[in-house]
Structure 1
Amino acid sequence: MNTVRLLALLALLLAAPVSASAAQGAYATQGDCGGRPMTGVRMAPGYCLGLVWQGSGAEGPRMPRGLLALSGGDWLVTDLGNWYPGNGAIWRLSFGADGAPRWRRLAQGLNMPHTAARGPDGRLYVSEMNRILTLDPDAADPAATVRTVIGDLPDNRLHANRHPLSSFVFDGNGDLLVNVGAPSDRCVDARGRARTDASGACADSAATAQVRRHAYLGNGRWAEDSTVFASGLRNSIALVRHPSGTILQGENSVDLTTPDHPYDEINVLREGGHYGWP
């Protein structure tokens, strides 16, 4: 099985919300996908999507969000836990000789962890709702190695607004590009009135609905202060740097009014660009 297919196979883990009622929403499988049960999810020709694991959350993650390949065929998995702070975790997924998944919890009590990535220094970094942290998954006690890299990100709690998750990507020079989601759907208040400042601009846009740049200082350190890399972005839930240097963004845009007219976008981000929200 090639790496791309394995990544596709593991990606199903992220799409499967696991809870006490997971059995009612279990994925139907039929056939084989690289040694795993094959789901009915449609894929590009030559690819299939297999089911690695789906459980109750007792022996593994409850709401898996992010994946990062580790050495020896293991994976790091971020676990939202639920939509309340303090219930997230980071897990290590390995496989036994029989291919059965095995879980080890590396850290817990986290605030909605989401993205996991290797930094320019080779260390591992994870985003929480209000900070970027680093930890050593190979340490005897990984939780004891957790260290805040960037703190005081907006505490975008779901029950105060709708976009609590932080995502990030490293630019080619090592800078951190970090998502700060908008605190509303369309920049209107609970009564449907536009939330504008004195100039008539969206009041939410001054400090949110943007991707921020934190300058790399070297040796696992980044500037706490930031500049605005791109704005007019309701919620940049996915950020990717192409080998060419291009920054791509997956836009979780305004909520659907009709199922056949989604507003979500994939954008090529340019420094200083504004991408239309609201």
Structure 2
Amino acid sequence: MKHIKFPYLTIFIILNLCISTYFLDAAELRFPNGEVFHTEFVYEDERMLVVRFKGSEYKIPKKDLEYYDLSNKGQTNHSYKIAILSLKNGSVIKGTIADKNKDEVIIKSELGFLTINKNEIKNDIPIVDERPEFPIVYLANDKLDNQTRIGGSFTYLPLFPPLGNQTPPLYGLSIFTEPAFLRFKNTYQLGFKFEYLQSTGPIKEVTSQSGYVYLHQSKTFNSNPLLDFYGIVGIGMSSLSYRFDQNNAKIGSNPSAYLELGWQGLKYGPSFYRIGWKNLCFFEIEKIHCGSGLEISGGINF
């Protein structure tokens, strides 16, 4: 008997685990217009909820939802609409239409089943078996999210004293790439940059060639694409050349790092543009040279 019971017990445990896993990612969403969707949960952050409904992914700002429940263990790919009935006495009743006839409507609300005379209702009565489709405005643009970015930048960066007292601001160009496979949660992006800067002055001349690995993070406020801001933290190595005069020069390699904050709300087709304020430092053994200035970038998605 022991040998017979063991397979049944194993099958029972496996089935329970499968059922638990199946319902683990379910999420219930309710919009202010009464539409309710039982979806598959993908992920969330502080402002956005990403779900999958009938094979498509949707990104919904949390502020657009009246209610959501990530602990829901019900079915997925199911939708219905909550009826919102405005009565002539000023009351508002929310629930699902259970039945209706020529004179009355039976609605299932949080208070139970209510029978309401149609003459007491001001607004139109919804269809009983309405199954709304997910609003297409929230459909995730997977093609854009999975694209690689390449671009270039122009930098104008005054140096801090004491070096800044002897040389004009650094200026130069850079090229960068942000591979699609190094993007995380559509918010964090790893990138690579090569940068050339120079400063030619009457007393000293400074040039730098730098390679960076950086982390780019973006944040959009109020779900407005124009209110799209970003921050970048980069670390790397720089080959620095200091020329004091025609006969004296110093060349070496040192660690460097930069922090950039800016706006990237301007986009046109596959192109994108960024305007930021950049703080850059070169770390030598004896001292640190830093500067702060403007960086303008542009590129394309492909």
* TM-score bracket, shorter-length normalisation: under 0.3
Structure with higher Rg: it is: 2
Task: Report the TM-score when normalising by structure 2.
Answer: 0.21
| Larger proportion of helix | 2
Task: Report the TM-score when normalising by structure 1.
Answer: 0.23
Of structures 1 and 2, the one with the larger relative CO (CA 8 A, separation 6+) is 2
| Larger proportion of strand | 2
